[in-house]
């Protein structure tokens, strides 16, 4: 698939990773364990078993979800990060700084698919800033989310 360097990490920036080499299969998993681990309807994952994964800042906490699998997440902010099986590690696609290019090619665990998932693309949609009722709130909002790139200036000094 893609052969280069990819970076990413959790929402708060306590855990950052770098992947060098080819990314493997990208997929979404609908199984009940992945739903729980993601806190979401399904979990998008990409295999990094053929690449070199380095934790460049911090390290994930892990929950052993079965006798075979550990799931890594940020112990500070809770962002899901890894699926670690005996045959290799997969990373949560949305934790990458540039998830746009990591395109899922397969769905797993479809027996557990939440029934309305397939209807979500048909729901009415709106840009964030189009919500006039929230405009004054959004204008005052300051994001504490780590930026989508590696930086040594984190966390920002004014936040302490
Ligand atoms: Zn975090």
Ligand 1 center–CA 13 separation, angstroms: 5
Tally of domains within the chain: 1
Question: pTM here?
Answer: 0.92
Ligand 1 center–CA 123 separation, angstroms: 31
pLDDT at 157: 75
In a domain, 147, yes or no: no
In a domain, 38, yes or no: yes
pLDDT at 154: 86
Ligand 1 center–CA 111 separation, angstroms: 31
Ligand 1 center–CA 89 separation, angstroms: 19
In a domain, 158, yes or no: no
Domain that holds residue 11: 3-115+131-140
Ligand 1 center–CA 142 separation, angstroms: 17
Ligand 1 center–CA 118 separation, angstroms: 30
In a domain, 65, yes or no: yes
Ligand 1 center–CA 11 separation, angstroms: 5
The CATH number covering residue 55 comes to 3.90.1590.10
In a domain, 83, yes or no: yes
Per-residue pLDDT reduced to its tens digit, 28-64: 999 999 999 999 999 999 999 999 999 999 999 999 9
Q: At 66, list the tokens.
A: 């079965």
Pick the closest to residue 56 from 157, 146, 125, 159 (CA basis): 146
pLDDT at 133: 86
Ligand 1 center–CA 99 separation, angstroms: 17
pLDDT at 159: 66
Ligand 1 center–CA 58 separation, angstroms: 9
Ligand 1 center–CA 31 separation, angstroms: 24
pLDDT at 101: 95
Q: At 33, list the tokens.
A: 């364990």
Ligand 1 center–CA 139 separation, angstroms: 25
Full 3-state SS string of the chain: CCEEEEEEECCCCCCEEEEEEECCCEEEECCHHHHHHHCCCCEEEEECCCCEEEEEECCCEEEECCCCCEEEECCCCCCEEEEEECCEEEEEHHHECCHHHCCCCEEECHHHCCCCHHHHHHCCCCCHHHCHHHHHHHHHCCCCCCCCCCCCCCCCHHHC
Low-confidence stretches of the chain (pLDDT beneath 50) = none
């Amino acid at each position: 698939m893609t052969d280069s360097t990819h970076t990413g990490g959790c929402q708060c920036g306590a855990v950052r990773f770098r992947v060098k080499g080819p990314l493997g299969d990208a997929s979404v998993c609908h199984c009940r364990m992945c739903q729980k681990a993601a806190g979401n309807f399904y979990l998008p994952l990409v295999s990094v078993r053929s690449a070199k994964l380095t934790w460049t800042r911090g390290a994930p906490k892990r929950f052993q979800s079965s006798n075979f699998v550990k799931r890594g997440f940020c112990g500070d902010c809770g962002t899901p990060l890894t699926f670690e099986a005996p045959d290799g590690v997969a990373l949560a696609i949305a934790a990458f700084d540039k998830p746009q290019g990591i395109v899922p090619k397969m769905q797993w665990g479809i027996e557990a698919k939440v029934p309305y998932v397939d209807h979500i693309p048909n729901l009415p949609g709106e840009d964030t800033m189009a919500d006039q009722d929230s405009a004054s709130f959004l204008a005052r909002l300051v994001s504490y989310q780590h930026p989508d790139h590696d930086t040594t200036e984190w966390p920002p000094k004014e936040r302490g």
